[in-house]
Copies of this chain bind each other. A is one copy, B any other.
């Protein structure tokens, strides 16, 4: 029995025929990962495109001083991959790590390309998906520019209410580009206003 979460997600874009669903069943591989387990490590090539059935991940880079910087989070019914490395097949500068014990479905590059050829409507779906990802990333750039740490934190709470009470503050701080200590100060300051 194939996982309904993925099919439902894809059909939220365009309905699929039974034989198309069967092709997916064939190519996606189910996998369980533990908390803190990495599904991509910097220096490797990103060979899998991952759909998250259950759980939560972060994608992060490490700077020259050894500090980690979260670029994005992803949870249920979302996709995660280093798109740059996946499409260019060059080594990735990024890591993808489970923040909770998670369940996922993965497809290899060559199998995804097979599906692009044999299920043409998948091109449209993935074009729209990457457009969404692009827009999300652009909003992130915009938000980073235009705000103090407090404004960015409030923006984050608004944009990711389902994640904000699920992620440790230390991970949120890393996403916002500030230290956990300063986030603590910011939170205190917000509370004293309310």
Chain A interfacial residues counted at CB < 8 A = 31
- Chain A, range 38-91, C-beta contacts under 8 Å to B: 61, 63-64, 69, 71, 83-84, 87-88
A126 close to chain B: CB less than 8 A: yes
CB–CB B145/A63 < 8 A: yes
- By a CB distance below 8 angstroms, the chain B residues around A138 are 71, 83-84, 137
Asked if A114 is at the interface of the complex by the 8 Å CB criterion, the answer is no
Nearest-neighbour CB distance to chain B for A130, whole angstroms, equals: 6
Main secondary structure of the interface of A (DSSP, over half): helix
Of residues 116 to 165 in A, which have CB atoms within 8 Å of B's CB atoms?
123-124, 126-127, 130-131, 133-135, 137-142, 144-147
Smallest beta-carbon distance A64→chain B, Å: 7
Question: Which of A64, A123, A139, A145 gathers most chain B CB within 10 Å?
Answer: A145
Task: Take A61-B145, A69-B146, A141-B140 as given contacts and tell me if A134 and B135 are in contact as well, using a CB distance cutoff of 8 Å.
Answer: no
Tell me if A180 is interfacial: C-beta within 8 Å of chain B: no
Q: Specify which chain B residues have a CB less than 8 angstroms from the CB of A63 in the assembled complex.
A: 145-147
